[in-house]
């Protein structure tokens, strides 16, 4: 067996941003169009500010948005979109209503016309809304049986207390009580162009695509509502919250730690600290928990951003019998990164991963559309990638150590474990104070 040498990397070319254009329409809608001609398609993302909208109504609205317009039934809408290779769907997060779609590039005009009809002339027909309401209740009931959902629900409550972010899924009974008229009035009140951003990416001419959007959506007008939320409260670390799931063969271990918004000067250093701790496969926590101990399959951490605050989320599903030891390793790795500066090699590795995956994320129409839309909803543009890349490229060990000490210290963590309490309470109590609770 001969020893072979690992080939060197060819340095990356300078970051190249795609051709793009932007226009604010008189009605208040911002349109961003980006050219990537790789496949003859177009991606669409529309984000409409939606914070403080009543959760059951807003959730059902997102489920029922395409149930009909003055001239089209839900089947008409779907069939018309299909005929240009298109599809549209809607979702909700605590800050925004998000419409996602794509079509053959030749179908852009038609997709925009249909979108405009849905936005400006919604019908919310009683029968269709009733069907979507039942489906949503079924969907929520399935979610309520999933450990990842139950654990997240419990964690959000602990993190956010009385802040609106604390509850992100409505109760089935609340959804059952929503009437079509309530959707119509919520739509009239909140599905407005002011503050909304439409992103189009694909085999398009950016200026012409914006013209098409202006033509189709010119009639979408009306004032938005400034409903910005108060900043999220600081996390209040306390005893570990243990939620019982009798008979569970795995425990869902969740932690929330404080974090910084994308625009903070220290954000790049914090992203790197997160990477080194648990934010990618070759991180300390993943290598320890999975590749050394075999406690878990897919442990992961990520910084989650909402308009009113950011947090660093830690998640692992671990075998019931190693729940205590898993918490031990997690506390150890958090303590280690909060107490000691990272090695030069591991910082370089994390840095290259962060810089490289930025490029991977920009390499498809869908990736660009998601990125541009997400950035835009935080008031940023794709150009922010240059600034962020430069910050990632220059962050030092000292800077990473400084933010890690501040944000990744285990004493800062809000911790929730969902699992078979009879089996895991004692091992967890050996490590930290435990309180029982419900999701």
Residues 359 to 388 in contact with another protein, rule: CB under 8 A: 359-360, 362-367
Least distance from another protein to the Cβ atom of residue 63, Å: 12
325 binds another protein (CB under 8 A): no
18 to 77, contacts with another protein by CB under 8 A? 36-41, 66, 74-77
Three state DSSP letters for 145-174: CCHHHHHHHHHHHHHHCCCHHHCCCCCHHH
Residue 46 backbone phi and psi in degrees, to 5: -125, 125
Give the residue among 302, 322, 307 at the shortest CA–CA distance from 254. 302
Give the number of other Cβ atoms within 10 Å of residue 382's Cβ: 18
**CB 137, min distance to another protein, A:** 9
Query: Which residue, among 223, 216, 203, has the nearest Cα to 31 in the 3D structure?
Result: 216
CB of 52 to another protein, least distance (A): 29
Nearest to 312 by CA among 389, 408, 402: 408
Task: Closer to another protein by CB, 102 or 310: give it.
Answer: 102
Neighbours of 242 (CB within 10 A): 23
Task: Find the binding residues for another protein in span 251-310 (CB under 8 A).
Answer: 280-282, 287, 290-298
Note whether 173 binds another protein by CB under 8 A.
no
CB-wise, 76 or 227, nearer to another protein? 76
**Piece of the chain touching another protein by CB under 8 A; list 98-106, 190-198, 381-389, 423-431:** 98-106
Considering beta carbons, is residue 52 or 359 the nearer one to another protein?
359
Of positions 147, 218, 261, 437, contacts another protein by CB under 8 A: 147
Q: Which of residues 334-353 bind another protein (CB under 8 A)?
A: 348-349, 352-353
The position carrying tokens 């890349």 is 389
The binder of another protein chosen from 183, 318, 382, 421 (CB under 8 A): 318
How many residues are there in the chain?
Answer: 439
Count each helix (H run) and each strand (E run) in the chain, helices first: 16, 12
| Given 23, 30, 78, 109, the residue binding another protein (CB under 8 A) | 78
Alpha helices in 313-396 (DSSP H): 323-339, 344-361, 365-377, 384-394
Place of tokens 């956010």: 160
Interaction residues for another protein, span 106-125 (CB under 8 A): 106-107
């Amino acid at each position: 067996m001969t020893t072979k040498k690992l080939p060197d990397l060819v340095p990356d070319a300078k970051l190249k941003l795609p051709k793009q254009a932007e226009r604010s329409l008189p009605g208040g809608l911002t349109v961003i169009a980006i050219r990537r001609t790789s496949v003859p398609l177009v991606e669409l993302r529309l984000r409409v500010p939606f914070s403080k909208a009543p959760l059951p109504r807003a959730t059902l609205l997102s489920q029922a948005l395409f149930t009909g317009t003055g001239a089209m039934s839900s089947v008409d809408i779907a069939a018309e979109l299909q005929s240009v290779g298109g599809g549209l769907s809607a979702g909700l997060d605590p800050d925004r209503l998000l419409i996602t779609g794509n079509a053959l590039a030749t179908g852009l005009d038609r997709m925009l016309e249909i979108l405009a009809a849905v936005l400006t002339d919604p019908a919310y027909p009683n029968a269709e809304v009733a069907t979507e309401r039942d489906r949503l209740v079924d969907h929520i009931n399935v979610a309520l049986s999933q450990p990842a959902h139950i654990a997240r629900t419990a964690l959000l409550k602990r993190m956010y207390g009385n802040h609106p972010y604390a509850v992100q899924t409505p109760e089935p009974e609340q959804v059952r009580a929503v009437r079509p008229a309530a959707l119509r009035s919520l739509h009239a009140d909140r599905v407005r162009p002011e503050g909304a951003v439409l992103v189009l990416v694909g085999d398009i001419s950016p200026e012409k695509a914006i013209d098409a959007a202006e033509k189709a959506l010119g009639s979408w007008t009306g004032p938005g509502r400034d409903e910005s939320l108060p900043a999220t409260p600081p996390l209040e670390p306390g005893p570990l919250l243990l939620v019982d799931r009798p008979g569970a063969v795995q425990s869902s271990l969740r932690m929330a730690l404080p974090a910084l918004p994308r625009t903070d000067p220290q954000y790049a250093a914090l992203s790197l600290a997160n990477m080194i701790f648990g934010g990618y496969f070759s991180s300390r926590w993943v290598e320890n928990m999975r590749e050394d101990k075999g406690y878990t399959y897919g442990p992961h951490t990520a910084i989650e951003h909402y308009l009113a605050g950011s947090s660093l989320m830690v998640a692992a599903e671990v075998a019931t019998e190693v729940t205590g030891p898993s918490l031990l390793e997690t506390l150890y790795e958090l303590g280690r990164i909060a107490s000691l500066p990272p090695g030069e090699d591991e910082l370089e590795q994390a840095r290259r991963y962060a810089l490289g995956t930025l490029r991977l994320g920009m390499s498809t129409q869908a990736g660009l559309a998601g990125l541009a839309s997400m950035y835009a909803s935080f008031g940023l543009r794709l150009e922010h990638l240059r600034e962020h890349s430069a910050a990632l490229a220059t962050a030092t060990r000292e800077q990473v150590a400084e933010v890690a000490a501040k944000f990744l210290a285990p004493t800062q963590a809000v911790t929730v474990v969902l699992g078979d309490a009879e089996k895991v309470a004692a091992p967890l109590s050996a490590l930290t104070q435990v309180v029982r609770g419900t999701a």
